Copies of this chain bind each other. A is one copy, B any other.
Amino acid sequence: MPGPVSRRYEKLADEMDQAIGEGLLRPGERLPSVRVTCQHHGISPSTVFQAYGLLEARGLIEARPRSGYYVLARKKPARALPLQAPIRAEATEVAVSALAFDLLESTRDAAVVPLGSAFPAPHLFPFEALARSGARAMRRLKPAQITGALTVGDAGLRQTLRKRYALQGVPLAEDELVITNGAMEALNLCLQAVTQPGDVVVVESPTFYAALQALERLKLKAVEVPTDPQHGVDLDALGELLGRQRVAACWFMPTLQNPLGALMPRARKQALVELLARHGVPLIEDDVYGELYVDVRRPPSAKAFDQAGGVLHCSSFSKCLAPGYRVGWAAAGRFSPAVRRLKMMSSLATALPPQLAIADYLGQGGYERHLRQLRTALAAEQQRARRLIERHFPAGTRVTRPAGGYFVWLELPAGVEALALHHQAMSLGISTAPGVLFSADRRFVHHMRLNLGHPGDARIDDALRRLGGLASELASAAA
Chain A residues with CB under 8 Å of chain B are 98, 100-101, 104, 107-108, 110, 114, 117, 119, 121-123, 127-128, 130-131, 134-135, 138-139, 141, 143-151, 181-182, 184-185, 188, 192, 197, 210, 213-214, 216-217, 219, 323-327, 340-342, 344-354, 357
Q: Is the CB of A146 within 8 A of B122?
A: yes
Cβ A188 vs Cβ B147 within 8 A: no
| Across-interface contacts of A122 in B (CB, < 8 A) | 143-144, 146-147
- Cα distance, A188 to B347, chains bound together (Å): 8
Contact B345 A213 (CB under 8 A): yes
Nearest B residue (CB) for A213: B345
Q: How far is the CB of A395 from chain B (nearest CB, A)?
A: 35
A122-B143, A122-B147 known; A347+B185 contact, CB < 8 A: yes
Let me know if A147 and B181 touch, CB within 8 A.
no
Contact of A135 among B138, B342, B351 (CB under 8 A): B138
The residue of chain B having its C-beta at the shortest distance from the C-beta of A322 within the complex is: B353
Q: Assuming A138-B131, A217-B192, A326-B352, is B347 touching A144 (CB within 8 A)?
A: no
CA distance A219 to B143 in the complex (A): 36
Distance in angstroms from A117 CB to nearest chain B CB is 7
How far does the alpha carbon of A346 sit from the alpha carbon of B352 in the complex, in Å?
A: 19
Would you mind naming 8 contact pairs between A and B with Cβ atoms under 8 Å apart?
A100-B344, A184-B348, A188-B346, A213-B345, A325-B353, A326-B350, A326-B352, A346-B346
Other 12 A-B pairs with CB < 8 A, given A98-B341, A131-B135: A101-B340, A107-B150, A127-B143, A131-B141, A181-B326, A181-B347, A216-B345, A217-B345, A324-B353, A325-B353, A326-B351, A351-B353
CB-CB under 8 A from A139, the residues of chain B are: 128, 131
Q: Closest chain B residue to A318 by CB distance? A: B348
Residues of B close to A107: CB separation below 8 A: 147, 150
